[in-house]
Structure 1
Amino acid sequence: MRTVPLGPSGPAVPAVVAGMMRIDGKTDDEVRSLYSAARAADIDFFDHADIYGREVHGAERRFAEALRLTPSERAEIRLQTKTGIVREGPFFDFSFDHIVSSVDESLRALQTDYVDVLLLHRPDALVEPEEVARAFDALESAGKVRAFGVSNHTPRQIDLLKTAVRQPIVANQVQLSVAHAPTVAQGLAMNMETAAQATVLDGGGLIDYCRLEGITLQAWSPLQGTRSEGVFLGDPAYSELNSVIDRVADRYGVTPLAIAVAWIARHPAGIQTVLGTTTPSRVTEAAAGADIVLDRAEWYALVRAAGYTVP
């Protein structure tokens, strides 16, 4: 498994992350099979959030109860979780009390003393950076969180946090796939007023900003498009894209899923792909894609087939 750096000076982490959002209804054996497939593919990074599951912290609890990791096994993996969304509203809460109490409950649910990475899940318009900084300092000094990041944040929202937060922002998890790529395509259409993709959806230059700041991008929903519900692989609404994906997959002797991951992994920003599947075989297929290096012609052919303008 190819690795990428986590943050400006952080450890090497796998280019594919196992997302645990959908495991709440799975049996112990199903969770173990998913986990084993990830580990066999050299994926040791598992993504959670407090709101995942039928109940708050439900997916975190299911993960711990099914696996019952020993301390030595826990030390072999990285656990990432998120906070900031209050599902009952919904509303967002980046207050000191909410962040700290949410992490404490995540630790109980995950049956661990620490999480490796904590992300602020979606931007809180009422954010007070000093409150976030106080929470981060308390969690770090207590040994409960080892690194901090954000999710779905624009460059300026990150800059605002950094006016008070002293820890490096190591990651920003955003929606990205070849069929949903405004963060990539917007820059390609710079100064082209007739190109719809020139519309700024990410605060402008998000990928470039993260590269400059050493922030690792994590791509959630890597198989989701914008034209219909569900994945774009095999969807008639993306017939041209699927035709190109199939052709490239045949060339490399892999599945279309692997090419969808390879497109993300090819970007020099060193983007992690966050899988949402609960099917072990698809984890294996996706992992194979991280080690494929598409050439420029293949990568741009996929961009064009997805409907984006390549001037």
Structure 2
Amino acid sequence: MTVSPRIELVPGGLSLSRLVFGAWRLLDGQNPGAEEVARLIDTSVDLGLTSFDHADIYGGYAVEEAFGAGLARWKGRRAGIELISKCGIMLASSNRPQNRLKHYDTGAAHIEASVERSLNNLGTDYLDLLLIHRPDPLMDADDTARAFERLVAAGKVRAVGVSNFTPDQFDLLASRLPFPLVTNQIEHSVLETSALTDGRLDHAQRLRYAPMIWSPLGGGSLFTGEAHASKGCGQR
């Protein structure tokens, strides 16, 4: 087994493997069976990638269930990995026919229902980390915070954070919580450097939390030479 360095998101708090397995494209162009997914999990953990990043919407709301089927076949210990998921984006999808238009929902009822579905899909009793996927222009910070508090108190979520938030949006939600937001998951690569100048990395350093980086290889375009197409995809 390869031992990978770990990173504490906040001092004394949840730690993740330095490299995180992103499940966004798990089902792109393929339909891996449970045994194949179990082998993928095993290989990742053997390489030191113990943290697995999900979102309810990945694969048109299908990735978590496929991963959970593999996790049920995996022979390892649940306590030896970290499961991360995100919620808040409401995609128009055949798997969510009630969503006629893409929008955002960071209300307590939706967050708590989404976590219950993620737990069921992944076949686990808890998420190690729950993130709000995108800023919601209509977010009621008090309502969102209430959901976070209830989920943490119930042991269904170990830690909470956000994704793609500005420093001000982060601070607003953090001001309503009795415990810290432990990370902001942001896009950053040599092709996307705005976090260096828009205050997001400065904010992380000031508050001493470790940001999570998504698409660090530019969605693969660093290898293919093709234009980076992550922006506007509605998935991250």
TM-score, length-scaled by structure 2 = 0.84
Q: Which runs of 5+ in 1 are unaligned?
A: 187-203, 239-275, 277-311
Q: Which runs of 5+ in 2 are unaligned?
A: 93-100, 229-235
Q: What is the rounded CA distance, in whole Å, between the counterparts of 2:15 and 2:162 in structure 1?
A: 19
Q: What is the rounded CA distance, in whole Å, between the counterparts of 2:124 and 2:227 in structure 1?
A: 44
**Greater helix share, structure number:** 1
What percent identity do the matched residue pairs reach? 38
Instruction: Pick the aligned partner of 2:207 from 204, 213, 236.
Output: 213
> Shift of the alpha carbon at 1:23?
1.9
Task: State the match for 2:16 in structure 1.
Answer: 13
> Does the CA contact (< 8 Å) of 2:38 and 2:73 recur in 1?
no
Q: What is the rounded CA distance, in whole Å, between the counterparts of 1:64 and 1:12 in structure 2?
A: 22
Q: Aligned pair in 2 of structure 1 residues 236, 91: CA closer, same or farther (>3 Å)?
A: closer
* Residue 22 (structure 1) aligned with residue 25 (structure 2): yes
Task: State the match for 1:31 in structure 2.
Answer: 37
Task: State the match for 1:63 in structure 2.
Answer: 67
Q: Aligned pair in 2 of structure 1 residues 206, 113: CA closer, same or farther (>3 Å)?
A: same
Higher alpha-carbon deviation: 22-31 or 80-89: 22-31
- RMSD between aligned residues: 2.2
> Does the CA contact (< 8 Å) of 1:8 and 1:168 recur in 2?
no
Task: State the match for 1:233 in structure 2.
Answer: 223
> Shift of the alpha carbon at 1:107?
0.6
> Does the CA contact (< 8 Å) of 1:129 and 1:165 recur in 2?
no
> Does the CA contact (< 8 Å) of 1:20 and 1:47 recur in 2?
yes
> Does the CA contact (< 8 Å) of 1:119 and 1:151 recur in 2?
yes
Highest RCO, 1 vs 2 (Cα 8 Å, sep ≥ 6): 1
1:167-189, Cα deviation, whole Å (9 max, x unpaired)? 211111111111221212x3xxx
> Does the CA contact (< 8 Å) of 2:38 and 2:74 recur in 1?
no
> Shift of the alpha carbon at 1:71?
9.4
Q: What is the rounded CA distance, in whole Å, between the counterparts of 2:35 and 2:192 in structure 1?
A: 33
Task: Give the match's secondary structure for 1:23.
Answer: coil
* Residue 74 (structure 1) aligned with residue 68 (structure 2): no
Task: State the match for 1:115 in structure 2.
Answer: 127
> Does the CA contact (< 8 Å) of 2:42 and 2:76 recur in 1?
no
Within a 5 Å distance, the mapping from 1:84-233 to structure 2 comes to 84-88=88-92, 89-184=101-196, 186=197, 204-224=198-218, 231-233=221-223
> Does the CA contact (< 8 Å) of 2:71 and 2:122 recur in 1?
no
Task: Give the match's secondary structure for 1:7.
Answer: coil
Q: Aligned pair in 2 of structure 1 residues 163, 73: CA closer, same or farther (>3 Å)?
A: same
> Does the CA contact (< 8 Å) of 1:170 and 1:214 recur in 2?
no
1:183 partner amino acid: A
TM-score, length-scaled by structure 1 = 0.65
- Counting matched residue pairs gives 215
Q: What is the rounded CA distance, in whole Å, between the counterparts of 2:130 and 2:75 in structure 1?
A: 20
Higher alpha-carbon deviation: 20-29 or 106-115: 20-29
> Does the CA contact (< 8 Å) of 1:8 and 1:213 recur in 2?
no
> Shift of the alpha carbon at 1:26?
2.0
Structure showing greater radius of gyration is: 1
Instruction: Pick the aligned partner of 2:6 from 3, 17, 24.
Output: 3
> Does the CA contact (< 8 Å) of 1:122 and 1:152 recur in 2?
yes
Q: Aligned pair in 2 of structure 1 residues 237, 75: CA closer, same or farther (>3 Å)?
A: closer
Task: State the match for 1:292 in structure 2.
Answer: none
Task: Give the match's secondary structure for 1:148.
Answer: strand
> Shift of the alpha carbon at 1:166?
1.9
